[in-house]
């Protein structure tokens, strides 16, 4: 993104703390002068919309398609509120968290949501970006109230008392168009970086699969393993049941009230979840989920406390611990790929799985090679993930600066963005949704809290 933006030539104090200084020709008005509430109901045939924290207003069907969330909306939707394209909807209980935005769709939303429409000839997309800045989120929080923080609501009576900004209509249009392009560009870049992480992760899995089932010598003589998911293995390797190679144990319960802060990590199926004053297992150890299909496997060097949500290995039966760590990865990889019958198996079933095992020195060589390769791959994955975070932060900061007038986009040609879009590569629909979209959904408690 190789464009340079400058401040406006002249500013004035807005008198509104969350806005600060604004361009001298912009106006300050209370929201009651800019918006009015819409309460049109009795359209149960319309498609259901959700107001998400990550993306604003979107069809609930699209939201649920790639999510484990269920539709918790009422069967009777006659009381749901109609939303027209250009309307702004917000979840009154989560507006201060960013659950608001302009709708591109006609549909209905929960009665617990607020729908507002422009009084003047305003550009709704401009206010979509303005209302989703951290500064407005703080202002929304200031005007929200309730018994507890998780029940704070921004009612329309309070929303209309907030003072906001009104740039000239032409500038609203320019700002909205600029930020739309910025958003599409950053989404495309993030999608490319995510794909890179996927490819690097696939490379790691392929390396493990090759090394742990075939060894390091590409010319080694092979023999049939007799195991479908293993295929051929080096002729000098042994095939044995996992229980003869490593013994899996169930973790131990550790209630919060019994946990004493100490130096020993407490490890669950999701990783290290805290520390304790004493250990139950002498390290090193390998920890995984209670079932073979969890996919999360951790190597723990020091003494540790394996949580009861996990299985752990501390008895390696004379084998190299790091090799066992990678061997369990191979079992997990094949469980997820559907090439074997191990998904969802418990400890006893895992013990019965047959695996191929080389001698101790070859185990050490395989583990050493994988450790070395993974150090470089993990650095690349970490740097790529950091680039995603920095890009998001940059988008948030630049959006806030443009929408509040700290930077001037008048006269900036959108064509400046297009070369960068081309450089990102053709990765599909620019308007595609980010996979990690966080949503507030349609919670039951919001239904109960809805205004009639």
Condensed to tens digits (0 to 9), the pLDDT of residues 374-385 reads: 999 999 999 999
Phi, psi of 35 (to 5 degrees): -140, 155
CA 214 vs CA 20, 217, 389, 441: distances in Å: 65, 8, 38, 47
Integer Cα distance of 146 and 44 in angstroms: 30
Write down the pLDDT at residue 411. 84
C-beta separation of 266 from 298 below 8 A: no
Tens of pLDDT along 22-33?
A: 999 999 999 999
Phi, psi of 83 (to 5 degrees): -120, 130
165 three-class SS: strand
Write down the pLDDT at residue 5. 87
Strands, DSSP E only, in 194-237?
Answer: 222-224, 232-234
Write down the pLDDT at residue 67. 66
∠ CA 435-438-442, rounded to 5°:
120
Write down the pLDDT at residue 332. 81
What are the structural domains of the chain?
A: 11-190+391-448 (3.90.220.20), 216-357 (3.90.220.20)
Integer Cα distance of 16 and 165 in angstroms: 9
Write down the pLDDT at residue 347. 80
| Sole residue written with tokens 């066992």 | 324
The DSSP output letter for 100 is: E
Integer Cα distance of 35 and 117 in angstroms: 5
C-beta separation of 86 from 103 below 8 A: yes
The 3-state DSSP composition of the chain as helix, strand, coil percent (nearest 5) reads 40, 20, 40
Q: Is residue 4's pLDDT more than 50?
A: yes
Integer Cα distance of 353 and 355 in angstroms: 6
297 three-class SS: strand
Average the pLDDT over 144-169 and give the result.
Answer: 89
The first and second tokens of residue 374, run together, are 């993974």
Give residue 424's pLDDT band: very low, low, confident or very high (50, 70, 90).
very low
Give residue 335's pLDDT band: very low, low, confident or very high (50, 70, 90).
low
Average the pLDDT over 43-52 and give the result.
Answer: 93
The DSSP output letter for 274 is: E
Q: Is residue 60's pLDDT more than 90?
A: no
Give residue 341's pLDDT band: very low, low, confident or very high (50, 70, 90).
very low
The first and second tokens of residue 347, run together, are 């400890």
Write down the pLDDT at residue 150. 65
330 three-class SS: helix
| Sole residue written with tokens 């799985």 | 353
∠ CA 261-267-273, rounded to 5°:
55
> Which candidate, 37, 38, 14, 34, places its Cα nearest to that of 122?
34
Share of the chain above pLDDT 90, in %: 68
C-beta separation of 171 from 410 below 8 A: yes
| Number of Cβ within a 10 Å radius of residue 341 | 14
Write down the pLDDT at residue 155. 94
C-beta separation of 141 from 2 below 8 A: no
Q: Is residue 362's pLDDT more than 90?
A: yes
Give residue 338's pLDDT band: very low, low, confident or very high (50, 70, 90).
very low
| Sole residue written with tokens 């990765």 | 427
Integer Cα distance of 386 and 374 in angstroms: 18
| Sole residue written with tokens 């809805």 | 450
The first and second tokens of residue 13, run together, are 């104090």
Write down the pLDDT at residue 365. 98
C-beta separation of 195 from 342 below 8 A: no
Angle between helices 321-337 and 169-214 (to 10 degrees): 120
Taking the chain, what is the end-to-end CA distance rounded to the nearest angstrom? 48
Tens of pLDDT along 162-191?
A: 999 999 999 999 999 999 999 999 999 999
Integer Cα distance of 91 and 114 in angstroms: 6
> Which candidate, 262, 289, 286, 258, places its Cα nearest to that of 274?
262
> Which candidate, 130, 120, 41, places its Cα nearest to that of 77?
41
Which of 135-139, 213-217, 336-340 is the least confident region?
336-340
Partner residues linked to 189 by β-bridges: none
Give residue 334's pLDDT band: very low, low, confident or very high (50, 70, 90).
confident
Which of 90-104, 240-254, 418-432 is the least confident region?
418-432
Give residue 450's pLDDT band: very low, low, confident or very high (50, 70, 90).
very low
The first and second tokens of residue 306, run together, are 């394996």
Kind of pairing between the strands at 163-166 and 49-52: unpaired
């Amino acid at each position: 993104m190789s464009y340079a933006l400058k401040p406006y030539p002249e500013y004035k104090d807005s008198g509104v703390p969350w806005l600060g200084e604004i361009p001298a020709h912009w106006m300050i008005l209370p929201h009651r002068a800019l918006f009015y509430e819409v309460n049109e109901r009795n359209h149960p045939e319309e498609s259901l919309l959700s107001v998400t924290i990550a993306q604003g207003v979107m069809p609930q069907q699209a939201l649920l398609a790639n999510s484990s969330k269920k539709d918790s909306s009422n069967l009777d939707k006659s009381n749901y509120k109609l939303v027209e394209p250009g309307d702004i909807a917000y979840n009154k209980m989560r507006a201060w968290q960013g659950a608001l935005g302009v709708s591109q769709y006609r549909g209905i939303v929960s009665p617990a949501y607020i729908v507002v429409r422009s009084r003047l000839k305003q550009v709704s997309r401009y206010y979509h970006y303005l209302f989703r800045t951290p500064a407005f989120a703080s202002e929304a929080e200031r005007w929200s109230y309730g018994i507890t923080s998780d029940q704070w609501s921004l009612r329309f009576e309070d929303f209309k008392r907030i003072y906001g900004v009104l740039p000239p209509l032409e500038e609203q249009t320019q700002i909205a168009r600029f930020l739309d392009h910025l958003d599409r560009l950053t989404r495309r870049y993030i999608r490319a970086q995510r794909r890179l992480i996927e490819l690097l992760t696939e490379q790691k899995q392929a390396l493990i699969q090759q090394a742990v089932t075939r060894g390091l010598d590409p010319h080694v003589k092979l023999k049939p393993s007799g195991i479908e998911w293993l295929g051929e293995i080096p002729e000098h390797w042994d095939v044995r049941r996992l229980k003869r190679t490593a013994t899996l144990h169930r973790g131990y319960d550790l209630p919060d009230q019994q946990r004493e802060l100490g130096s020993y990590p407490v490890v669950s199926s999701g990783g290290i979840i805290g520390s304790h004053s004493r250990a139950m297992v002498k390290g090193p150890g390998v920890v995984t989920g209670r079932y073979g299909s969890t996919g999360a496997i951790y190597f723990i060097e020091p003494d540790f406390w394996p949580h009861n949500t996990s299985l752990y290995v501390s008895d390696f039966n004379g084998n190299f611990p790091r090799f066992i760590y990678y061997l369990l990865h191979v079992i997990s990889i094949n469980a997820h790929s559907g090439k074997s019958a191990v998904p969802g198996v418990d400890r006893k079933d895992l013990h019965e799985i047959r695996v191929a095992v080389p001698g101790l020195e070859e185990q050490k060589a395989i583990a050493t090679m994988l450790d070395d390769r993974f150090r470089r791959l993990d650095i690349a994955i970490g740097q790529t993930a950091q680039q995603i975070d920095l890009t998001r932060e940059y988008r948030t900061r630049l959006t806030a600066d443009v929408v509040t007038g700290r930077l001037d986009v008048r006269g900036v040609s959108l064509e400046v963005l297009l070369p960068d879009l081309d450089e990102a590569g053709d990765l599909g629909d620019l308007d595609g949704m980010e996979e990690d979209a966080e949503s507030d959904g349609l919670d039951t408690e919001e239904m109960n809290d809805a205004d009639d």
